[in-house]
Amino acid sequence: MRWFRENWLDALIFLLIALVAAGIVLYLIGINPFARPQAAPPPPPASQPLPVPPQEARPPEPVVTVIPLPQAPLERPQEAPPEPRPQEVSPARPRAEAPPMTPRSGGSYRVAVGAFANPENALRLSRELSQKGYPVRLEAAGNLTRVVVGPYASEPEARQVAEALQAYGAQVYRGQGPPPPAGGSLYLQVGAFQREENALALAGRLREMGLPVVLARDGFYRVRVGPVSPEERESVEARLAALGLTALEVP
């Protein structure tokens, strides 16, 4: 006790230093001796079950009995019928038009299909009929160019062709050629060509001069001026001569 009485101050200082050192050590290791203990959180209230809505009473489902269907009988393969042997069939022609008949020599029946003041229109129709196989001719009919099919040896043959070409207003007439111009008129032929475009070029040139022009075709494209009366013949021939054309009188 004597030592404590003489050295109590030193002991007190040592105790304080020890306490401070212990506090520093506890702070470093994460222990706070001066912290108040936290109260434990209250336990969460027990969850109450949600009310379940009452379920409607459903009627019991009917029991369906599935009856298996009988299996369809297997189809037996049928033998294919024998293929017919190919036969030669002539190409069909349009129903609206009868097959063109071949004109016979010495025939006197013809079918007039149309007459045009413009020779170009007559040539256009003649090309169309030629492509269909009809024997087409061009004849002078007054100051018009007439498109003619034929000739045929009998009137029934010509009538059959006229029915096939009724859309063009075809008419049957009999004769070796067109009737002569009325009033003693005549035609002056100024050219005969193998090519259609050459005949059309000359015909257009004469039409521009105001001359009546018709075309005839019987293997050649013949350009004719007319009908010309005897009084007009000299003046018309003079105008043709000025163009370097020689006029040849034809019936």
- 209 and 160 in a common domain: no
Q: List pLDDT tens digits, range 58-114.
A: 555 554 444 444 444 444 544 444 444 434 333 333 334 444 555 444 568 999 999
CA distances to 6, 9, 19, 125, 178 from 175, rounded to whole Å, are: 180, 173, 158, 22, 7
Residues of the chain with pLDDT > 90, as a percent, come to: 46
Task: Note whether 161 and 189 are same-domain residues.
Answer: no
CATH of the domain at 194: 3.30.70.1070
Give the range among 21-25, 116-120, 175-179 with minimum mean pLDDT: 175-179
Structure confidence at residue 18 (pLDDT): 86
Q: Are residues 168 and 202 in the same domain?
A: no
Q: What is the mean pLDDT of residues 243-247?
A: 91
What is the per-residue pLDDT for 19? 85
Identify the domain boundary among 139, 174, 209.
174
Flag whether 199 is in a domain: yes
Q: Indicate if 167 and 199 belong to the same structural domain.
A: no
70 assigned to some structural domain: no
Could you tell me whether strands 186-193 and 248-250 are parallel, antiparallel, or unpaired per DSSP bridges? antiparallel
Average confidence score pLDDT of the chain:
77
Residue at token pair 């009538």: 159
Looking at residue 107, what is its pLDDT?
66
Residue 46 inside a domain? The answer is no
Task: Please give the residue that has the higher pLDDT: either 243 or 65.
Answer: 243
Expressed as residue numbers, the domain containing 134 is 109-174
Task: Please report the pLDDT score of residue 72 as a whole number.
Answer: 42
Alpha-carbon span 92 to 128, nearest angstrom = 19
Q: Of the candidates 144, 174, 204, which is a domain's last residue?
A: 174
The C-alpha R_g of the chain, in whole angstroms, comes to 62
Q: pLDDT at position 94, please?
A: 37
Between 199 and 33, the higher pLDDT residue: 199
Whether 226 maps to a domain, the answer reads yes
pLDDT of residue 54: 56
Count the domains in the chain.
2
Average pLDDT over residues 122-150: 93
Mean pLDDT for 9-30 is 82
Residues 158 and 211 in one domain: no
Statement to judge: residues 196 and 233 lie in one domain: yes
Q: Report residue 22's pLDDT band, with 50, 70 and 90 as the boundaries.
A: confident
Q: Over the stretch 153-210, which tens digit does the pLDDT of each residue have?
A: 999 999 999 999 999 999 999 865 555 555 567 999 999 999 999 999 999 999 999 9
pLDDT band (50, 70, 90) for residue 117: very high
Look at 23 and 250; give whichever has higher pLDDT: 250
Whether the per-residue pLDDT at 230 is higher than 70: the answer is: yes
Dist. CA 176–CA 174, nearest whole Å: 7
Residue identified by tokens 């020599």 is: 105
In the chain, % of residues over pLDDT 70? 64
Residues 159 and 198 in one domain: no
Domain boundary among 174, 203, 226: 174
The answer to the question of residue 144 being in a domain is yes
